[in-house]
Amino acid sequence: MSKISRRSFLKGAAIATALPLVANAAQAKKESLKFIHVTDSHMDLSNSDSVEAMEIMRDFINDNYKDLDFVLFGGDNFNNNAPSDKDALKFKEIADGLHCPYYSVRGNKESSPKGDNQINLAAFEKMFVDGRGLKTSGKDWLLETKGYNILGLDSCIEHQNNGLYTEKTLSFAEQTLKSGKPTLILNHHPYTNYWGGTEEKDIHKYVLNNTQEAQKRLFTYDNLLLTLSGHKHIDSVKEIQGSKVIVTRGFIRPLDLDMYPMRYVELSGNEINEKLIYTA
**Residue closest to 87 by CA, chosen among 135, 142, 124:** 124
- Interface size with Fe ion, residues (CB under 5 A): 4
The one-character DSSP state at 163 is: B
Give 152 or 182: the residue with its C-beta nearer to Fe ion: 152
State the pairing for strand pair 243-247/140-145: unpaired
76 near Fe ion, judged by CB under 5 A:
yes
For 193, list phi and psi in degrees, rounded to 5: -85, 65
Residues 202 to 231: which contact Fe ion by CB under 5 A? Answer: 231
Q: Does 250 bind Fe ion (CB under 5 A)?
A: no
Using the contact rule CB under 5 A, the part of the chain among 71-79, 130-138, 143-151, 162-170 near Fe ion is 71-79
Please choose, from the candidates 84, 157, 167, the residue with its C-alpha nearest in 3D space to the C-alpha of residue 127.
Answer: 84
Single out the residue of 34, 58, 72, 107 in contact with Fe ion (rule: CB under 5 A).
107
87 lines the binding site for Fe ion (CB under 5 A) = no
What is the longest distance spanned by two Cα atoms in the chain?
A: 89
Binding of Fe ion by 108 (CB under 5 A): yes
Minimum distance of Fe ion from residue 193's CB (angstroms): 15
| 9-16: long-range contacts, CB 8 A cutoff, minimum separation 24 | none
Nearer to Fe ion, 107 or 261 (CB): 107
> Among all residues, whose Cβ is closest to Fe ion?
231
| Min dist. Cβ of residue 280 to Fe ion (A) | 24
Sole window of 78-86, 104-112, 200-208, 263-271 interacting with Fe ion (rule: CB under 5 A): 104-112
What amino acid is encoded at 23 in this protein? A
Q: Which is nearer to Fe ion, 34 or 205 (CB)?
A: 205
Task: Give the bridge partners for 104, in sequence order.
Answer: 73
Query: CA-CA distance, 8 to 272, in Å (whole number)?
Result: 44
Taking a C-beta distance cutoff of 8 angstroms, is the pair 78, 46 a contact?
Answer: no
Residues found near Fe ion in the complex (CB under 5 A): 76, 107-108, 231
